[in-house]
């Protein structure tokens, strides 16, 4: 059980982060400052520095929280998480559809946090290499790509059709992802990550357009349209057409 001092510290950190998120939502992430957060909660800047030694440290905490919350939402919707000890879904493609819908739902419910992690980079900020933001982001991505690998292992996905070239080069990063995914499906083909990237680009692109208000002129029911696009991509993926 946490001590009174520890509980007080956690409460103050939560207050600092809430004020920082409000500043991000109203002014944008590049305008986040320790002084502004301190003013919002009635604390001196020096007091904030007892909890965060820099604006970047605070920003890293906000980014990590957002990535983690998004990963939690996507994992819960899919009923599976690579590190969660939850049994793999019996229908990975249905779980993949549910995960994409959860991704959209989270983004629309928390647009400021979505744009914090996927919007314009904050000038001067560098995420710690292999730090908590990277780990949290990878956890979220592992659900999407992992479900695709499980679908392949379950025989739900056909090999890519002839219009794709088996000789398409893969990057070192793709090879690293493939090596991890082959723990789930040892016979994954070399082009698998490229195929999944097309689906990821569709998911993220549509959600980003909607969050930034770029689809209101074209769609009367964005939710139904999004689900339809996801179903069409998953079916094409199933058949080896993408």
- Three-class SS of residue 220? coil
Instruction: Provide the domain count of the chain.
Output: 2
One DSSP character per residue, 85-103 reads: TPPPPSSHHHHHHHHHHHH
Q: Are residues 117 and 235 in the same domain?
A: yes
**Domain boundary at 53, 68, 83, which?**
53
Position 84 scores a pLDDT of 57
Q: Are residues 2 and 75 in the same domain?
A: no
Distances (CA, A) of 42 to 47, 52, 171, 189: 10, 16, 50, 57
Residues constituting the chain: 242
* CB 136, CB 99: distance < 8 Å: no
- Three-class SS of residue 60? helix
Q: Are residues 33 and 65 in the same domain?
A: no
Distances (CA, A) of 205 to 115, 123, 197, 201, 226: 13, 23, 12, 6, 11
Position 161 scores a pLDDT of 86
Q: Are residues 70 and 49 in the same domain?
A: no
N- to C-terminal Cα separation, the chain: 52
Domain harbouring 62, CATH code = 1.10.357.10
* CB 76, CB 130: distance < 8 Å: no
- The structure tokens 């995914």 sit at 181
For residue 37, the tally of other CB atoms under 10 A from its CB is 24
Q: Are residues 104 and 155 in the same domain?
A: yes
Q: Are residues 215 and 234 in the same domain?
A: yes
* CB 205, CB 118: distance < 8 Å: no
Q: Are residues 102 and 196 in the same domain?
A: yes
* Range 93-97, long-range pairs (CB < 8 A, 24+ positions): 93/147, 93/151, 93/156, 93/157, 93/234, 93/237, 93/238, 95/147, 96/144, 96/147, 96/148, 96/151, 96/234, 97/227, 97/230, 97/231, 97/234
Q: Are residues 2 and 118 in the same domain?
A: no
Q: Are residues 144 and 179 in the same domain?
A: yes
Position 165 scores a pLDDT of 47
Q: Which residues of the chain have pLDDT under 50?
A: 165-166
pLDDT tens figures, 125-144: 998 888 999 998 898 889 99
**Predicted model pTM:** 0.92
Q: Are residues 66 and 151 in the same domain?
A: yes
Q: What are 127's two structure tokens?
A: 């995420």
Domain that holds residue 30: 1-53
Domain harbouring 16, CATH code = 1.10.10
Question: In terms of DSSP H, where are the helices of the chain?
Answer: 4-27, 34-41, 45-48, 55-78, 92-109, 111-118, 132-153, 172-181, 192-211, 222-239
Q: Are residues 45 and 59 in the same domain?
A: no
Q: Are residues 215 and 197 in the same domain?
A: yes
What values do phi and psi take at 147, rounded to 5?
Answer: -65, -35
């Amino acid at each position: 059980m946490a001590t009174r001092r520890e509980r007080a510290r956690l409460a103050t950190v939560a207050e600092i982060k809430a004020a920082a998120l409000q500043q991000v939502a109203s002014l944008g992430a590049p305008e986040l400052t320790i002084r502004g957060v301190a003013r919002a909660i009635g604390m001196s800047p020096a007091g904030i520095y007892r909890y965060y030694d820099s604006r970047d440290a605070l920003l890293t905490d906000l980014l990590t929280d957002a990535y983690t919350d998004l990963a939690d939402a996507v994992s819960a919707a899919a009923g599976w998480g690579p590190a969660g000890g939850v049994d793999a879904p019996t229908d990975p493609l249905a779980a993949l559809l549910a995960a994409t819908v959860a991704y959209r739902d989270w983004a629309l419910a928390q647009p400021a946090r979505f744009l914090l992690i996927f919007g314009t980079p904050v000038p001067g900020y560098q995420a710690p290499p292999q730090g908590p933001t990277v780990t949290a982001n990878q956890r979220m991505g592992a659900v999407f790509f992992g479900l695709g690998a499980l679908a392949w292992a379950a025989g739900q996905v056909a090999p890519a059709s002839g219009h794709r070239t088996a000789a398409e080069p893969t990057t070192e990063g793709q090879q690293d992802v493939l090596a991890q995914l082959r723990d789930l499906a040892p016979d994954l083909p070399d082009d698998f990550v490229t195929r999944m990237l097309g689906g990821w680009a569709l998911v993220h692109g549509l959600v980003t357009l909607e969050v930034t208000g770029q689809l209101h002129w074209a769609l009367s029911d964005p939710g139904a349209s999004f689900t339809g696009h996801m179903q069409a991509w998953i079916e094409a993926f199933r058949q080896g057409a993408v």
